[in-house]
Amino acid sequence: MRRFVPRSRVPHTATGPWLGTQPRVQGKRHTPLDRKTPTFGQLGTLEVRLARTAGEVKRAQQVRYQVFYEEMSATPDAYTMATRRDRDAFDDVCDHLLVLDHNVTQRRFRKPKPRIVGTYRMLRQEIAEQNGGFYSFSEFDVGSLIERHPDLNFLELGRSCVLKPYRDKRTVELLWHGAWSYVLRHNIEVMFGCASLAGTDPDELATQLSYLHHNHLAPLEWRVRAIPSRYVPMDRLPADAVDPKKALRALPPLIKGYLRLGAFIADGAVVDEQFGTTDVMIVLPVSGISHRYINYYGANATRHA
């Protein structure tokens, strides 16, 4: 595989400014949306699969807006506020994993559609290489990690969210099941992505950041570092001053889930003022995933199929 040199955070299909104005994306998606894409799994009235239409991608963006902008503290620009959708140029080159509730429908052009209640955005390495790089390149030096592992296949995960009434074990389990199915389908060997802590003052997050640094820092083989201009030290407290139980209770469920799977944490955090968060980088080699979870979901993702 050729050396991966990121060109920018914005796919080359985009024109004009990306943040703060309406994203304008030209051309076709990396692959057409497939109306016959199979279901990854079901649990009761909930189904997990990839988005099949542009309309479903838009509805996923509306869910992201509800969670990131209305419920949390992200600051919308005029276009985002007007459309009530969390959208950027990467949406046109990513696959969108959806959890849908068939017991609750929304009318779209007179035809009832199942409600989208959770979503996850996925960007495969082969697609990123064709479109200017990964989303997280503006925060972390992921390119150096990929160069150290030229024979491995990487997948970036991001924009994970679930509507508040659905934040329970069933929905989260289906999202993980869908992600695992996707990993198997595309022979992914390393997953990575930004995960967020609410708040932009690292000192107020000292317990969580210090715990992650002292207990889950990636070994050199898998270590990624925040880019120098945005690097925020995570070891804000000495290891013996951190209460692990208190720190774990304060971590978002998504980060705790990654840690249970066997994920590592990058060196340094990044403050994202637009979204009102402090971001850490998760690195999860598939070979290091706990066998407990592989056995739970099935080596062939058969648990909820």
Q: Across all residues in the chain, what is the average pLDDT?
A: 88
Residue 304 falls within a domain, yes or no?
A: no
| Residue 132 within any structural domain of the chain | yes
Give me the mean pLDDT over the 62-78 stretch. 94
Tell me the CA distances in angstroms from 23 to 19, 63, 104, 304, one per residue in order: 8, 18, 31, 37
Assigned domain for 84 exists: yes
Tell whether 62 is covered by a domain: yes
Q: Residue 291, exposed/middle/buried by CB under 10 A (0-12, 13-18, 19+)?
A: exposed
Which of residues 2 and 55 earns the better pLDDT score?
A: 55
Q: Which residue, 171, 183, 178, 197, is CA-closest to 284? A: 183
| Residue 73, domain CATH | 3.40.630.30
**Per-residue model confidence as pLDDT tens digits over 139-167:** 999 999 999 999 999 999 999 999 999 99
What are the tens digits of pLDDT across the range 15-55? Answer: 332 233 333 334 455 556 777 788 999 999 999 999 999 99
Q: H or E segment at 295?
A: helix 291-297
8 domain residue, yes or no: no
User: What residue numbers bound the domain in which 143 lies?
Assistant: 14-297
Domain count, the chain: 1
d(CA 99, CA 230): 34
What is the Cα–Cα distance from 195 to 266, expressed in whole angstroms? 11
220 vs 242: CA distance, rounded Å: 23
CB atoms within 10 A of CB 17: 12
- Say which residue the tokens 């979901």 belong to: 297
Q: What are phi and psi of 46, to 5 degrees?
A: -95, 140
pLDDT band at 108 (very low <50, low <70, confident <90, very high): low
In a domain, 7, yes or no: no
In a domain, 4, yes or no: no
- The verdict on residue 285 lying in a domain is yes
The tens digit of pLDDT for each residue in 207-255 reads 999 999 999 999 999 999 999 999 999 999 999 999 999 999 999 999 9
